[in-house]
Amino acid sequence: MPNYLNGRFILTIFIMLCLISVVFYISITNGSFDISVSNVIRTILRINPNEDYDLVIFDFRLPRIVIAGLVGLGFGMAGAVIQGVTRNGLADPGILGINAGAGAAIVAFMFFFQGNMNGTDLLSIMMQPIFGLVGGLLAAAIIFLFAWKNGKLDPQRLILTGIAIGSGFGAFSLYLSLKMKASDFEMATVWISGTIYNANWYYILSMLPWLIIFIPIIYKKAYSLDLLQLEETSLKSLGMAVEREKSWLLISAVAIVSACVSVSGSIGFVGLMAPHIARRLIGLKHRYILPVSGLLGVLLVMASDFVAKTVFAPAELPVGIVISLIGVPYFLYLLVKTKA
């Protein structure tokens, strides 16, 4: 059985990487200004560089593709962790309000401390994930406080509380954005909807350390996530420090979500769909689920971003809206399936 699972895992990873490569190829060569593959390769390898190609690839397309991939990776893995810790298949950073909490804190930072939304102020950009972490942890703490019943998390209360808290933080973000200057308000509302159209290398620099630190922590605790699917009494008999493991996993997941929200706004449903699909493809072991969820998130956000920027060109949709068009029906399907 282990050999079968390893082979299936390797095959799944290979297929995911091939699909991501296809989306990368389409995204970097197609758009309002098409570029051939040979010109892309020459530009990246600095063979007879062209200023127009440099501008399109290095200033517009490549940062956007990289951020889409990193955001998808973060949301996919964080969603798998949150579903594992709560033992709730409907849990998701967006649905539970963690995205909204992180986003509200970042909007507050932008409003009170004049955080720059145009990506030119490196200090402000580097500070945004820290404020997002505070907001995300605050949202998670409030949600878990109200969802705790008889010494354990109640799945129904968790979802209902998360939706309520998320709505509250969303309203707070909208209120602050209405207080901004007219020129900043439009950008703030688009950012809240979930978008990466303003991507640049500073944003990548701001979120990359968070992913480098917390993704290995999560993967190292994959076995703990497997054990957390057991009953509390069984975990205590195994000598596991349940609350400590949950705390580390949740803090790591919220930190990753906060870093993603700081550069992309509140993109929902990635953390819901990716773990579900991963479990269907690879089984229930989290050392397989986590990387597959991450790659599925990469594929989903990269593909959705390409659709968002091309379908209504020259106008552009926020990528969060495109993902929601897929995610809302999927969530309703899971809800009906859970009730059945």
Instruction: Write down the domain spans for the chain.
Output: 2-339
Mean pLDDT of the chain: 86
Residue carrying the six token digits 């409003």: 111
Q: Are 327 and 79 in contact (CB under 8 A)?
A: no
**Spatial separation of the C-alpha atoms in residues 210 and 135, rounded to whole Å:** 16
The torsion angles phi and psi of 339, rounded to 5 degrees, stand at -65, -40
Give the pLDDT band of residue 160 (cuts 50, 70, 90): confident
Three-class SS state of 238: coil
Which pLDDT score is estimated for 228? 87
Mean predicted confidence (pLDDT) in 141-151 = 82
Mean predicted confidence (pLDDT) in 321-332 = 88
The backbone region for 137, taken as left when phi is positive above 0, alpha when psi lies in -120 to 50, beta otherwise, is: alpha
Three-class SS state of 152: strand
**Spatial separation of the C-alpha atoms in residues 287 and 100, rounded to whole Å:** 28
Give the pLDDT band of residue 118 (cuts 50, 70, 90): low
Distance of CA 263 to the CA centre of its chain: 10
Which pLDDT score is estimated for 48? 84
Per DSSP, helices labelled H in 194-238 are: 201-220, 222-227, 232-237
Chosen CATH of 2-339 out of 1.10.3470.10, 1.10.150.120, 2.60.40.720, 2.30.30.90: 1.10.3470.10
Which pLDDT score is estimated for 121? 67
Q: Are 81 and 253 in contact (CB under 8 A)?
A: yes
The dihedral sign for the CA sequence 145, 78, 279, 325: positive
Task: Pick 119 or 161 by higher pLDDT.
Answer: 161
**Spatial separation of the C-alpha atoms in residues 8 and 69, rounded to whole Å:** 23
Mean predicted confidence (pLDDT) in 42-67 = 90
Mean predicted confidence (pLDDT) in 150-169 = 82
Task: Pick 40 or 336 by higher pLDDT.
Answer: 40
Mean predicted confidence (pLDDT) in 41-51 = 88
Residue 291: cis peptide before it, omega within 30 degrees of 0: no
Which pLDDT score is estimated for 18? 97
Mean predicted confidence (pLDDT) in 28-39 = 88
Angstrom distances, CA of residue 261 to CA of 107, 157, 320: 11, 25, 11
For the stretch 260-288, pLDDT in tens is: 998 898 898 999 999 999 999 998 899 99
pTM exceeding 0.75: yes
Ranges 34-43, 106-115, 256-265, 315-324: which has the least confidence: 106-115
**Spatial separation of the C-alpha atoms in residues 187 and 193, rounded to whole Å:** 10
Residue carrying the six token digits 């892309």: 40
For the stretch 75-95, pLDDT in tens is: 999 999 999 988 888 888 888
Q: Are 91 and 82 in contact (CB under 8 A)?
A: yes
Mean predicted confidence (pLDDT) in 196-215 = 90
For the stretch 296-311, pLDDT in tens is: 999 999 999 999 988 8
The torsion angles phi and psi of 221, rounded to 5 degrees, stand at -100, 20
Which neighbouring-strand residues pair with 153?
148
**Spatial separation of the C-alpha atoms in residues 71 and 229, rounded to whole Å:** 27
Mean predicted confidence (pLDDT) in 221-250 = 82
Structure tokens at 31: 């758009």
Highest mean pLDDT out of 12-26, 34-48, 151-165? 12-26
Which neighbouring-strand residues pair with 149?
152
Which pLDDT score is estimated for 115? 47
